[in-house]
Amino acid sequence: MNMKRVRKGFIPFLILGILLISAGCSNTEKEAAIKVGNDSESNIRKVLNEIFNGPGEELEEIYDDLNPGNKEEYERSIKTLDEYIQVNLKPYFSEEATGQDGDLVESYNYLHASHKHGYELNIHDITIEESRTAENSYSFTVEVTAVKNGRKDRKTIPVRGVIQTNEEGKMTDISYSNDRELLYVIEESERIRNIRAVLQNLFNGPDGKQEKLLEGSGGDLKNYADMLKEYNKKNFKPYLSDRFYEAFVRENEAFTFLKIAHPDYELKAEEITFEESDELPNSYNFAVKVSISDGSKMTNVKGAIDTDVLGNVIGIHYYNFENFRFALKKDNGED
């Protein structure tokens, strides 16, 4: 089983602990009692539910008790975690897939990260499609909602990947194509999430609603004002300080780039990178790789974003704004 394609890095000490404690351990009585059918899609659904739902009360208690500073307590918790894995996940994997003790531990990286950062994961929907060309191969999409400490604001990420099974319907391999997006939501600080959300909203579109706002009021000023207010409130207010939000709305900065693209082009933020400034506190230099229309043309927008002590955005500065404007004019054949 090539579980290396599952994101690593959250719990290497857990893997080490299981290598030391559970090496060579046999299935528990509880595991033996679990009835695993040979229906691949049913087994895949059970595995995905186990990996992306929770962590439940039992796992929470195990993670709470993990204390590397207390060897006896740590080893006891590692053993409990291993027993949990043997019961809840191992029955659905082939013997070949579970040949290395740390493999299945990595499947719980998402729940462990959620516990560490105060999140709960809930599956909204699972779609499974059998491959027409590869035998016993299934592509899947899991709509995972991450909720922070019970707050109303939540983020849903479609996690995609491929699972291979054997003739018995047991998993032999799992690979993910975009699990990093879920990890961004879980791992990133509030400050970084605010910065990323603002940049994504500035450089993606226009979609149908944005096009209506870009086309103007059409004579119905009140309705247009209400629509614009609701758009800004939903897409920018949660991430900006109150003072900056007022200026942002007043200057109509939400459409700084989309109004240049409209109506000829559609923008998509393909990649967003940033690093903390060495000179200014709570300031980040950023670069957004933007695709234009069908992605045949790309341009980079660079700048800096300032935040306050609470992580709210308080200022945005662009270093090469004219380059972006020039890229669209050039693409349109203008001088």
* Banded pLDDT at 10 (limits 50, 70, 90): very low
Pair 280, 164 in one domain:
no
Question: What's the pLDDT tens digit per position in 240-290?
Answer: 999 999 999 999 999 999 999 999 999 999 999 989 898 998 899 999 999
* Domain housing 76: 3-187
For the domain that residue 252 is a member of, what is the CATH number?
Answer: 3.10.450
Q: Which of 166, 187, 208 is at the close of a domain?
A: 187
CA atoms within 13 A on the CB side of 245: 17
Residue 331 has pLDDT above 70, yes or no: no
Q: Which of 187, 221, 241 is at the close of a domain?
A: 187
Of 92, 87, 251, 70, the residue nearest 165 (C-alpha): 92
Pair 161, 236 in one domain:
no
Pair 26, 62 in one domain:
yes
pLDDT at 113: 87
Instruction: Report how far residue 39's alpha carbon sits from residue 208's, in angstroms, rounded to the nearest whole number.
Output: 42
Pair 173, 239 in one domain:
no
Pair 153, 262 in one domain:
no
Instruction: Report how far residue 100's alpha carbon sits from residue 106's, in angstroms, rounded to the nearest whole number.
Output: 11
Pair 204, 249 in one domain:
yes
For the domain that residue 28 is a member of, what is the CATH number?
Answer: 3.10.450.100
Query: How many Cβ atoms from other residues are within 10 Å of residue 95's Cβ?
Result: 11
Domain count, the chain: 2
Pair 104, 165 in one domain:
yes
Extract the tokens encoding 94.
Answer: 């082939």
Query: How many Cβ atoms from other residues are within 10 Å of residue 140's Cβ?
Result: 20
Please report, rounded to a whole number, the percentage of residues in the chain having pLDDT higher than 90. Answer: 56
Pair 136, 150 in one domain:
yes
Instruction: Report how far residue 104's alpha carbon sits from residue 6's, in angstroms, rounded to the nearest whole number.
Output: 10
Q: Which of 187, 209, 240 is at the close of a domain?
A: 187
